[in-house]
Amino acid sequence: MVWVVLIQAYAGVVLSDMMRKTMSVRRPPEDADILPFPTADEPARLDRAAQERDEETALLVRVREHADSAAFSRLFEMLAPRINSHLRRGGMAPADAENLLQDIFLVVWRKAAMFDAKLASARTWIFTLVRNRRIDLERAAQREQRLIAEYARSDAGAESYEVDLLAQAFGARIGAMLTELPVEQRDVLLKCYVEGKSQREIAIECGLPIGTVKSRARLAFERVRAAFGEGK
């Protein structure tokens, strides 16, 4: 499907200047209410998470095979609240988050035929839909320059993440794996995945050479790869 993106890229060549650079710079959330990190807890949660993932995938397959609206509704109830929270944590206004959810689940309903359970779980597929839609919206919004300037001025991010927050943000299994990482590698992962910053933005924010951020990201990612059991 990247192919589709590329084809669109050719089409976009003529209109090249219409799309503008986007780095999805997001401010740290200002409102504590939209930071509903769960508490890190017991292994039982992991089993539950795995069961949920399987159930979601089964529901999406039913939507795909039978246009089953009951399965669709259940899938929406399982996933929409957490996607909503994720978007709000990223600083998105409630109305924008709802619009995006509507777009995403319209696509889930209409394009379920494109879902292939062999390639990804339902939630990973839906994650990629959310990501791509968010990219489109942000490119349209053309707002990044101002935010980058703000970042350059602020000295946010000087502090390191606590291990607790890590486990909360990533869930117990990944959290436990990452607690073993040196603090500077862990911070690169958190800034990328939780705060939504690019490696370039992390380098600027932390006053580090880009090469340093890249090597920290590489070392951290080796652990991520190992945790998912997909060694090279």
Partner 1 sequence: MNETLHPASGWLMDYACGHLSPAFDIVIATHLLGCAVCRADLQCAERLATEVMFSAGGQAPRLAANDILSSTRAAPDMPGWRPSGGVSGAPDLTALASNYLSLGEPALRWRGVGGGVAVAKLRSSEGDRLWLLRAQPGAVLPRHSHSGSELTVVLQGAYVIDEQIYSVGDLEDADEDVTHQPIVTTRAECLCLAATTGPLKFSGWAARLAQRYLGI
Q: How far is the CB of 130 from partner 1 (least distance, A)?
A: 7
C-beta of 3 vs 158, nearer to partner 1:
3
Q: How far is the CB of 111 from partner 1 (least distance, A)?
A: 6
Q: How far is the CB of 54 from partner 1 (least distance, A)?
A: 14
Q: How far is the CB of 36 from partner 1 (least distance, A)?
A: 4
Site for partner 1 in 77-96 (CB under 8 A): 77, 79-86, 88-89
Q: Build a one-symbol-per-residue string for 129-168: x at contacts with partner 1 by CB under 8 A, - elsewhere.
A: xxxx-xx---x----xx----------------------x
Q: Which of 114, 117, 141, 152 binds partner 1 (CB under 8 A)?
A: 114
Say whether residue 60 binds partner 1 (CB under 8 A).
no
Return the HEC string of the chain: CHHHHHHHHHHHHCCHHHCCCCCCCCCCCCCHHHCCCCCCCCHHHHHHHHHHHHHHHHHHHHHHHHCCHHHHHHHHHHHHHHHHHHHHHCCCCHHHHHHHHHHHHHHHHHCHHHCCCCCCCHHHHHHHHHHHHHHHHHHHHCCHHHHHHHHHHCCCCCCCCCHHHHHHHHCHHHHHHHHCCCHHHHHHHHHHHCCCCCHHHHHHHHCCCHHHHHHHHHHHHHHHHHHCCCCC
Q: Which of 62, 123, 151, 186 binds partner 1 (CB under 8 A)?
A: 123
Say whether residue 61 binds partner 1 (CB under 8 A).
no
Those residues whose C-beta lies under 8 Å from the C-beta of residue 201, and which sit 6 or more positions away, are 23, 25, 148, 151
Phi and psi angles of residue 157, each rounded to the nearest 5 degrees, phi first: 85, 5
C-beta of 61 vs 107, nearer to partner 1:
107
C-beta of 98 vs 184, nearer to partner 1:
98
Site for partner 1 in 13-42 (CB under 8 A): 13-14, 16-17, 19-24, 34, 36-38
Q: How many whole angstroms separate alpha carbon 157 and alpha carbon 183?
A: 13
Those residues whose C-beta lies under 8 Å from the C-beta of residue 49, and which sit 6 or more positions away, are 171
C-beta of 34 vs 206, nearer to partner 1:
34
Q: How far is the CB of 206 from partner 1 (least distance, A)?
A: 13
Site for partner 1 in 161-220 (CB under 8 A): 168-171, 174, 188-189, 192-194, 196-201, 209-211, 213-214, 217-218, 220
C-beta of 17 vs 30, nearer to partner 1:
17
